[in-house]
Amino acid sequence: MRQMKPVMTLLAALAAGLAAPAAAQTVTVVEEWVTVETTASRYVSPLQQQAEQSAIAAYGPFRVIDDSTVALVGITDAASPAQFTAMLEAFPAIDTLEFVEAPGTHDDRANLALGRMIRERGIATRAQRGGSVRSGAVELFIAGTLREISPDSQFAVHGWMDDWGRGAEDYPPDAPEHRRYLEYYVEMGMNESQAREFYAMTNSVPFDDVLWLTGSEMRKWVGAGSQDAGQSEAVAAMAYLDFEPILQ
């Protein structure tokens, strides 16, 4: 499971890499990235602000935009599968989940269960220009039966750490801790080889570091199920920091 690290450690790691975008990846404990600001107010991206203003209903981190579209604007947790179920009961025509501001998850097992629900319902996932998909939210994104990715969206992954301070490299290759992810990726449409390569990529940087992928780079990993959500000009990357635990 992913676990919290001291905020100062994460800030130090981030300071070393501010030339590239910054954020995080997944399992039971939590982290969240927000912007560094000179005021006490929390940054809300224009895309998130638009989703909040357009929403006709809210279920946990989900904002219903219309009868067919829902936006993810926050961290998922143990309550998210039930919230998602309630939302679909109220809005059964929903067929698209848009990733607006998706920092990750507080509960990895619930997050993977949610991903399976997305897949089972045949819901498409979308990352528009300015969309941010980080940490455990990446597992949710690949659950889409159709994945639409703007080149100007951003994705972020990093290695996981469990409650005992151990990471993926500390477990034998056939450990259940690895199989949990590999089996999930196969369920989401990857073959065994693709699942292993994708899993290795997500663990290619340590827990307290981060690997950023542009939308264009992410499209190379998600396979034939992806579509381009539109071309646009490159936008400046924004580093997400906060004085709260960082979401994995």
CA distance linking residue 41 with residue 229, whole number of Å: 31
From residue 5, how far is each of 8, 34, 51, 57, 104 by CA, in Å? Answer: 9, 16, 31, 34, 15
Collapsing DSSP to helix, strand or coil, 59 comes out as strand
| pLDDT score at 65 | 98
CA distance linking residue 158 with residue 181, whole number of Å: 14
| pLDDT score at 223 | 58
Q: Are 154 and 135 in contact (CB under 8 A)?
A: no
| pLDDT score at 206 | 86
CA distance linking residue 248 with residue 230, whole number of Å: 28
Tell me the helices (H) and strands (E) count for the chain, helix number first: 8, 11
Q: Pick 100 or 44 by higher pLDDT.
A: 100
Amino acid in position 224: A
- Give the DSSP H or E segment for 7: helix 7-15
Domain containing residue 140: CATH number: 3.90.226.10
User: Which residue range forms the structural domain that includes residue 90?
Assistant: 7-228
CA 194 to chain centre: 19
- Which pLDDT band holds residue 160 (cuts at 50, 70, 90)? confident
* Residue 40, pLDDT above cutoff 90: no
Q: Are 103 and 33 in contact (CB under 8 A)?
A: yes
Structural domain contains residue 245:
no
Could you give the number of structural domains in the chain? 1
Q: 206-228 pLDDT, tens per residue?
A: 888 889 999 999 999 985 455 54
DSSP string, 80-145: HHHHHHHHHHH-TT--EEEESEE--BS-HHHHHHHHHHHHHTT-EEEE-TT-EEETHHHHHHTT-S
Structural domain contains residue 49:
yes
Structural domain contains residue 235:
no
Q: Are 74 and 61 in contact (CB under 8 A)?
A: yes
- Which pLDDT band holds residue 168 (cuts at 50, 70, 90)? confident
CA distance linking residue 115 with residue 127, whole number of Å: 16
* Residue 195, pLDDT above cutoff 50: yes
Bridge partner residues of 48 (DSSP): none
- Which pLDDT band holds residue 29 (cuts at 50, 70, 90)? very low
Token output for 136: 């455990």
* Residue 56, pLDDT above cutoff 70: yes
Structural domain contains residue 14:
yes
Structural domain contains residue 221:
yes
Q: Pick 12 or 91 by higher pLDDT.
A: 91
